[in-house]
Amino acid sequence: MSIGPLVPCVFEKSSLSSSLKWLDNEQSGSVVYVSFGSRTAMGREQIRELAVGLVESECRFLWVVKDKKVDREEEEGLEIILGSELMEKVKEKGLVLKEWVDQEGILSHSSVGGFVSHCGWNSVTESALHGVPILAWPQHGDQRINAAVVEENGLGLWVKSWGWGDGQVLVKGEEIGEKIRELMNDEGLKVKAALVRDNAKKAIQVDGTSKNGFSKFINSCSKYEKN
């Protein structure tokens, strides 16, 4: 049975953050959001190539940087990770953060027109619900399967030659920038993502497939308890 996407409850939504305030001043659909989740870290060399790609894409961007897998190890500042020269170039083009953000709030913002993602399932379903096209860059676990779902359903692009989070493939900034431009300028992809969004919203309505699937699941659990 199909369940999802799951919409956050009111108490789960955070107050207006600095990232959302920054987005308020950007043009509709002009910003690419870049995040690889709270538990996925890239090597520093690849992070710097990603920074170069974002600058060369000529797109405005909101980038959440993470180079450590364990939160308490996040001690070094962005200038150390990126280097002061590259950091200055990045700051001219977008907002770079090294902290938790309200991802659902970001993806629902009208300024966001694309998402560079590791394709964790939460990220995929949130992006689908808001019709934001994804540039898939899976790193580990089920993310490669999720990236295939993104590609097959028209929600985004997947460059398989970029590897599988093993650090053996260093994707150069020029190529990253080119793919980000493609993501942000592909009108056909935007139409397909909007269709995914419409279907996702239907699924969570009162008589939608998600609601019905969840009800069936609860009923099956009740029957099991009685037995």
**pLDDT for 227:** 55
As beta bridge partners, residue 156 has 134
Would you state the pLDDT for residue 193? 97
- The residues pairing with 112 across neighbouring beta strands, listed in sequence order, are 31
pTM, whole model, 2 decimals? 0.85
**Beta bridge partners of residue 117, listed in sequence order:** 35, 136
Q: What is the pLDDT of residue 10?
A: 46
Q: What's the length of the chain? A: 227
Which residues neighbour 188 within 8 Å (Cβ) at sequence distance 6 or greater?
A: none
User: What's the pLDDT score for residue 209?
Assistant: 65
Please state, in angstroms and rounded to a whole number, the distance separating the CA atoms of residues 191 and 165: 30
Q: Is 126 within 8 Å of 191 (Cβ atoms)? A: no
SS3 content of the chain, % helix, strand, coil (to 5): 50, 10, 35
Q: Which parts of the chain have pLDDT scores under 50?
A: 1, 9-12, 15, 72
One-letter amino acid for residue 226 of the chain: K
